[in-house]
Amino acid sequence: MGMPFNADEVFKMAEQIERNGVKFYRTAAKKFPKVSELLLDLAEMEVQHEKTFALMRNELSGTEAESLVFDPNNEAQMYLQVMADDHVFDPKADPVKLLAGIETPEEILKKAIGLERDSIMFYVGIKESISLRAGKDKVDAIIKEEVGHIAILKQKLDGL
């Protein structure tokens, strides 16, 4: 188990997740023209999420940014650590490499659904660990939008 995260680090990781998502969707759009319009739309939505997380991080006061996230039972910390370190989800990994071996629109949509799920899980961990003032409601709104992305992807998948 690694060191606990502070709020600044948690938001930086969230920004990286969104940047990864943008890169993943844009690269995938070039490879799969049949579903490129949807993938580019999703990329744009992830750009907005990155901006939201960046804004939230900038709005943290110095004390809030450096302090450990509020987590009396260490549960959210544990979850963030699992997601960050446990090969489940690596924000530093090159998202383009995730496209290796994916050959069909069906496969790319299924992969995207899995990645959206992982990002939701990370944000649920963030939501449980930050204060209302630090933007709990904004994180909830982003979770809702990511859930919507899964629904859109699933709908497209069913229609192929």
Per CB under 8 A, residues contacting another protein are 75-76, 78-79, 82, 86, 113, 117, 120-121, 124-125, 128, 143-144, 147-148, 150-155, 158
Please, which residue, 65 or 157, has the CB nearer to another protein? 157
CB of 58 to another protein, least distance (A): 26
CB of 140 to another protein, least distance (A): 8
Residues 6 or more apart whose CB falls under 8 angstroms from that of 80 comprise 5, 10, 13, 122, 125, 126, 129
Residue of 14, 27, 41, 15 whose CA lies nearest to 111: 27
Please, which residue, 121 or 130, has the CB nearer to another protein? 121
User: What's the CA gap between 34 and 57, in Å, rounded?
Assistant: 37
Residues 6 or more apart whose CB falls under 8 angstroms from that of 24 comprise 95, 96, 98, 99, 112, 115
CB of 62 to another protein, least distance (A): 29
Please, which residue, 60 or 98, has the CB nearer to another protein? 98
CB of 82 to another protein, least distance (A): 6
Cβ atoms < 10 Å from Cβ of 63: 8
